[in-house]
Structure 1
């Protein structure tokens, strides 16, 4: 298992949790040279890839009247360009039976007030999967999208506070935010042979 990200402390924690078969590589999905370094390490150490989970994402609220070109570029560089090159550069290492999982968002379907750039970027990710499923026809490689709703990550809990979490949870029929483990379970399903006849699909894990 190769884990890739920008925050060394998070990488170290993930490796400690996963054990000796995990390897961390620090870098940004918006930097092609960093991605080249990641896949060079994968090729040298493992030779091939079975699963790619393009899970990097960024987004911050900004009202329509305050959106800047820089804000759009920052969001799309990670969520769209980063996803494209993460997958493109992985393909030479993948073969039949491979699974590519892209992280979308419920905001990509429904929109979210104040999140113009983020919502648009996640709608783009949803359509990347649909397009790539056609591009990869005949290769045996599947591409699907996992679209979480509001999830009680540590960052989200810190940002929202207890009342904010309750408010977000109240928007769903299940009356709560998702636990990160529930999102991980859906990702494991898409990575496994249990989803072997699924491609170009979007799996919504959003509490309804």
Structure 2
């Protein structure tokens, strides 16, 4: 029997990256996992990878109607939820002087508004003792260049983690955040030439006290800890960043 046998989990943004790695971990330990994503091809691939205990649902975190529909789907498919990983989000790079209103609105809508209403709509389905995990970022504390709007969206999530943790206490639901540093999710390979990827990863690793970038599996283990095992922890943010925001 797996460690999370019989547990129902919802992971938004679960068709790739950190969400998919977390889904793999939990499915492998017996959980029934419902993942969401915006692209049908990626969802189909994730569903195939995860196997029979996983459900893949197309849902856009920027759309309140999609979030409402997701809540209905989760209720019909799972009934109650033991863990919610509100992970759907996007990155956006632009110098402060060149940040457009469109980019600002997109980042705040998907990264902050989306998770907020995802938790709100799924809260009635959360079982007593369940855990909610939000995905913040080391950018919300480091003041990195070209990330001002992105960092603001993640700082909003950090604040929400505390507020929602307090508001969901009467339901005996914990709310925490995982804060990744540089993680090798493979996204750079999709947007850069191989030589540029190698140089970028080397530079990121050199800036980290542990002198390496992290893996999605390392973030997944932190998410699972916050969702299930950190039973006396709520309102906290766990940095998974090789010490980059701490040392």
TM over 0.5: yes
In structure 1, the gaps of 5 or more residues are none
- Look up the match of 1:117: 149
Structure 1 position 58, deviation (Å): 1.1
1:204 paired to 2:236: no
CA distance in 2, matches of 1:94, 1:134: 15
Q: In the alignment, which residue of structure 1 is the partner of 2:170?
A: 138
Distance in 2, matches of 1:71 and 1:200, equals 29
Deviation at 1:9, TM superposition (A): 2.1
SS in 2 for 1:138: helix
Counterpart residue number, 1:5: 37
Structure-1 separation of matches of 2:238 and 2:178:
5
* Contact persistence 1:104–1:126 (CA under 8 A): yes
Runs of at least 5 residues in structure 2 that lack an aligned partner in the other structure: 1-32
CA distance in 2, matches of 1:122, 1:134: 19
Partner in structure 1 of residue 224 of structure 2? 188
Q: For the Cα contact (< 8 Å) 1:173–1:207, is it kept in 2? A: yes
Q: Distance in 2 between matches of 1:18 and 1:24?
A: 10
**Shift of residue 100, structure 1, vs aligned partner:** 0.4
* RMSD of aligned alpha carbons: 1.1
SS of 1:4's partner is strand
Query: Per-residue CA shift, 1:100-126, capped at 9, x if unaligned?
Result: 000000001112110110011111101
CA shift digits 1:79-137 (9 cap, x unpaired): 00001111110011113111100000000111211011001111110110111111112
1:146 Cα shift? Answer: 0.2
Distance in structure 1 (CA, Å) of the matches to 2:45 and 2:131? 25
Moved more, 76-85 or 150-159: 150-159
CA apart distance, 1:50: 1.1
2:204 corresponds to which residue?
168
Q: How many pairs does the alignment contain?
A: 207
* CA contact 1:157–1:165 (8 Å) conserved in 2: no
**What are the superposed Cα offsets for residues 134-179 of structure 1, whole Å, 9 maximum, x if unpaired?**
1112211000000000111111344451010000111111111111
> Aligned to 1:53, which of 73, 79, 85?
85
- 1:50-129 matches, within 5 Å, as 50-129=82-161
Please name the residue that 2:30 is paired with.
none
* Distance change (3 Å), C-alpha of 1:171 and 1:158: farther
Q: Is the 8 A contact 1:59 1:117 kept in 2?
A: no
Report if the CA contact (8 A) 1:50-1:94 is conserved: yes
CA contact (8 A) 1:55 1:103 kept: yes
Query: Residues 8-46 of structure 1: CA distance to partner in whole angstroms, max 9, x if unpaired?
Result: 222122222221111111020110111111111111122
